[in-house]
């Protein structure tokens, strides 16, 4: 049985036609964002989702997190239907999204205000390389440090699954590489499976066991690629370069066949 399983027939956002002059203002428009997506995540697996900006990656991740139950389909965690957020699934977004008025330690242990296990917070601080910074405020941190706090916060509830939405894209190349390694090793020590959304095909190849390529309008899986390479993987290796190029070609073909837009 898969750890996490999504069968999605369709996801659409209902927006209101205020900017469209051909349609009366306030007419609801149903825009299909995602269509016919079957996704399975095995225990211990690292799955990457790649696709062009706007193709629906964040929408899909929010659905997988149980944060958006408004879709046609079925989401299951260990076989049980999921209709809302759960402590078994942690999420890391592109921006750290920390509470500025809480200390680093309080942010990590916030857990929807449910309590604060300080020994566990201290261990997580240690694991993400921030020992001694528990009493700091978010504004005192660098971008990389703030994202480490966000990772520790996501691990606080000991989730089975960690979902990451372009978590490294706002960071410089060096910091990004350090955090990529950190997330992989943390997932392994904590036994969490990962779903990593990225537009960086090299990152997908370096970190994941399997890559799903999403096409746009509506978002759907157009290609699945296994990454049967042992860790540690390096950018310089020919096998990594081959798979990266293969993914790039897939994305370029999608781009060529897409309707021209503004
Ligand atoms: N809350 C929302 N309401 C209406 N449309 C949305 C909403 N969120 C995203 N969209 C639209 O859905 C599409 C997919 O967005 P998103 O999932 O953020 O894509 P990605 O993460 O791949 O860039 C985009 O066209 C975006 O404008
Ligand atoms: Mg996004």
Cα–Cα distance measured from residue 130 to residue 200, given in angstroms and rounded to the nearest whole number? 27
For residue 117, report the distance from its CA to the centre of ligand 2, in Å: 32
Measured from the alpha carbon of residue 70, the closest ligand is 1
Q: Is the pLDDT of residue 47 over 50?
A: yes
pLDDT in the model for residue 16: 67
Residues 6+ away with beta carbon under 8 Å from 181: none
- Give the mutation target among 17, 19, 59 for probing the ligand 1 site: most ligand atoms within 8 A of CB: 59
Instruction: Pick the closest to residue 254 from 198, 226, 212 (CA basis).
Output: 212
pLDDT in the model for residue 255: 84
- The answer to whether the CB of 91 falls within 8 A of the CB of 67 is yes
Sort strands 210-215 and 72-77 into parallel, antiparallel or unpaired: unpaired
Q: If DSSP codes are grouped into helix, strand and coil, which group holds residue 173?
A: helix
State which ligand 1 atom lies nearest to the alpha carbon of 53: 23
Measured from the alpha carbon of residue 59, the closest ligand is 1
Cα–Cα distance measured from residue 162 to residue 88, given in angstroms and rounded to the nearest whole number? 9
pLDDT tens figures, 194-233: 999 999 999 999 999 999 999 998 999 999 999 999 999 9
Which protein residue's CA is at the shortest distance from atom 4 of ligand 1? 13
- The answer to whether the CB of 96 falls within 8 A of the CB of 166 is no
Cα–Cα distance measured from residue 41 to residue 134, given in angstroms and rounded to the nearest whole number? 33
Residues within a 6 A CB radius of ligand 1: 13, 15, 33, 51, 53-59
DSSP-derived letter for residue 140 is: G
pLDDT in the model for residue 262: 46
pLDDT tens figures, 12-28: 998 765 555 566 666 66
Residue 162 tokens, joined: 């960690």
Measured from the alpha carbon of residue 52, the closest ligand is 1
For residue 220, report the distance from its CA to the centre of ligand 1, in Å: 14
pLDDT in the model for residue 19: 55
pLDDT tens figures, 96-134: 999 999 999 999 998 866 668 999 999 999 999 999 999
Q: Where do we find the tokens 């209101």?
A: 16
Which protein residue's CA is at the shortest distance from atom 1 of ligand 1? 13
pLDDT tens figures, 50-61: 999 999 999 999
pLDDT tens figures, 153-200: 999 999 999 999 999 999 999 999 999 999 999 999 999 999 999 999
State which ligand 1 atom lies nearest to the alpha carbon of 197: 21
Which protein residue's CA is at the shortest distance from atom 16 of ligand 1? 56
How many CA atoms, within 13 angstroms, populate the side-chain half-sphere of residue 74? 8
Query: What predicted TM-score, i.e. pTM, was given to this entire model?
Result: 0.93
Measured from the alpha carbon of residue 56, the closest ligand is 1
For residue 37, report the distance from its CA to the centre of ligand 1, in Å: 16
For residue 56, report the distance from its CA to the centre of ligand 1, in Å: 6
For residue 165, report the distance from its CA to the centre of ligand 2, in Å: 7
Cα–Cα distance measured from residue 195 to residue 61, given in angstroms and rounded to the nearest whole number? 8
For residue 181, report the distance from its CA to the centre of ligand 1, in Å: 29
Cα–Cα distance measured from residue 253 to residue 159, given in angstroms and rounded to the nearest whole number? 37
pLDDT in the model for residue 256: 83
Cα–Cα distance measured from residue 253 to residue 256, given in angstroms and rounded to the nearest whole number? 5
- How far is it between the farthest Cα atoms of the chain? 60
Task: Please report which confidence band the pLDDT of residue 259 belongs to, taking 50, 70 and 90 as the band edges.
Answer: low
Which protein residue's CA is at the shortest distance from atom 7 of ligand 1? 13
pLDDT in the model for residue 24: 66
Which protein residue's CA is at the shortest distance from atom 25 of ligand 1? 54
């Amino acid at each position: 049985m898969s750890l996490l399983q999504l069968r999605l027939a369709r996801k659409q956002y209902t927006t209101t036609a205020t900017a469209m002059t051909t349609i009366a203002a306030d007419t609801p428009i149903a825009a299909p964002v995602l269509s016919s997506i079957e996704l399975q995540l095995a225990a211990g697996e690292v799955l990457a989702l790649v696709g062009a900006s706007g193709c629906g990656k964040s929408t899909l991740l929010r659905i997988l997190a149980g944060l958006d139950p408004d879709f046609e389909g079925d989401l299951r965690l260990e076989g049980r239907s999921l209709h809302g957020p759960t402590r078994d699934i942690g999420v890391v977004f592109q921006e750290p999204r920390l509470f500025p008025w809480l200390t680093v330690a309080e942010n990590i242990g916030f857990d929807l205000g449910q309590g604060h296990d300080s020994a566990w917070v201290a261990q997580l601080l240690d694991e993400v390389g921030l020992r001694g910074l528990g009493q700091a405020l978010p504004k005192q941190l660098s971008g990389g440090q703030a994202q480490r706090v966000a990772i520790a916060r996501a691990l606080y509830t000991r989730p089975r699954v960690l979902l990451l939405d372009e978590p490294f894209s706002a960071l410089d190349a060096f910091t990004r590489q350090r955090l990529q390694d950190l997330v992989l090793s943390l997932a392994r020590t904590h036994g969490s499976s990962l779903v990593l959304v990225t537009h960086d095909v090299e990152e997908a190849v370096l970190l994941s066991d399997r890559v799903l390529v999403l096409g746009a309008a509506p978002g759907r899986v157009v290609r699945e690629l296994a990454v049967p390479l042992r860790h540690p993987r390096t950018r310089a290796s020919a096998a990594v370069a081959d798979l990266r190029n293969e993914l790039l070609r897939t994305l370029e073909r999608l781009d060529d066949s897409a309707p021209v837009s503004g």
